[in-house]
Amino acid sequence: MTETPQFDILKTLKEALRGLTRQGSRLSQSAFRQAQGFKILCYNKIMTKTFDSLASADVVNKTIESLTKNGFLAETVATGIEALSRIKGLIPDNASVMNGSSRTLEEIGFIEYFKNGKHNWNNFHKVILAENNPGKQSLLRKQSVLSDYYLGSVHSLTENGELVIASNSGSQLPHLAFTSSNIILVVGTQKITSNLDEALKRLNEYVFPLEDARMKSVGMGGSFISKILILNKEQVFMGRKFHIILVNEKLGF
């Protein structure tokens, strides 16, 4: 069949319309992606403002009172440098010491100080990392839960004196719940939330995405909230000393 000029024109118009439709679709998708990106940006800003702002003096004082009532030894310092100095004063010579993975401890200089050996503590973490045999290293990790001192931080802390700590492996949780005689947790006051619901929201919607991204940035497969420990109270009959040092600086996630 021979195409008439009118048919050619009609065909060209249809192709042009299809092209415009495809172009319009692409523009719509682009606009949609921009809208989604803007939505995520706004959400992240809201999360940051909500969960990454230092607590007021009144909130800190209320939290200290609640922690003390719940059996914790709570105190405040102004800076991470002061927190590190306080840690040095709390741990005696020859004590066995273990720490969990913690950006807060890194930021206040504890990890570097702990590694360089300019102290008289028994560094359980160093012993574990020096063992190349996977089976023996695993055994050492299990034995380390009996350390005299354990140091770390929390993911959230409520004004009512409740602590929220999440873990993928769970390796640090025995220390916190039962086994170590002395606990020292360093916490930036931006981690304080009004209640437990907000504390869990902070963990899931603010902390986890940041930690997951951090793990992926160093070549790991990401992170996962496999286990959550909530500490409501430290009972006197346990005979432990559970120190919480609140720092008026943004530390950790």
Q: What is the mean pLDDT of residues 91-103?
A: 95
Phi then psi for residue 98, to 5 deg, are: -135, 150
Q: Write down the mean pLDDT value for the chain.
A: 86
H or E segment and range at residue 106: helix 103-107
State yes or no: pLDDT of 40 exceeds 90. no
User: How do residues 149-164 score in pLDDT, each as one tens digit?
Assistant: 999 999 999 999 999 9
User: How do residues 44-76 score in pLDDT, each as one tens digit?
Assistant: 555 655 799 999 999 999 999 999 999 999 999
State which fold the 57-247 domain adopts: Rossmann fold (3.40.50)
Q: What is the mean pLDDT of residues 216-228?
A: 89
Q: Cα angle at 61 between 59 and 64, to 5 degrees?
A: 110
* Among candidate residues 154, 157, 151, the one with its CA nearest the CA of residue 175: 151
Phi then psi for residue 117, to 5 deg, are: 75, 10
User: How do residues 19-39 score in pLDDT, each as one tens digit?
Assistant: 555 555 554 555 445 444 444
Q: How does residue 214 score in pLDDT terms, banded at 50, 70 and 90?
A: confident
Instruction: Specify which residues 183 forms β-bridges with.
Output: 150, 242
Beta strands in the chain (DSSP E): 73-77, 96-99, 122-123, 149-152, 156-158, 163-167, 182-188, 192-193, 227-231, 241-247
Q: What is the mean pLDDT of residues 228-244?
A: 98
Percent helix / strand / coil, the chain, rounded to 5: 55, 15, 30
Helix (H/G/I), strand (E/B), else coil: 91: coil
The secondary structure of residue 70, as a DSSP letter, is: T
Q: How does residue 221 score in pLDDT terms, banded at 50, 70 and 90?
A: confident
Helix (H/G/I), strand (E/B), else coil: 165: strand
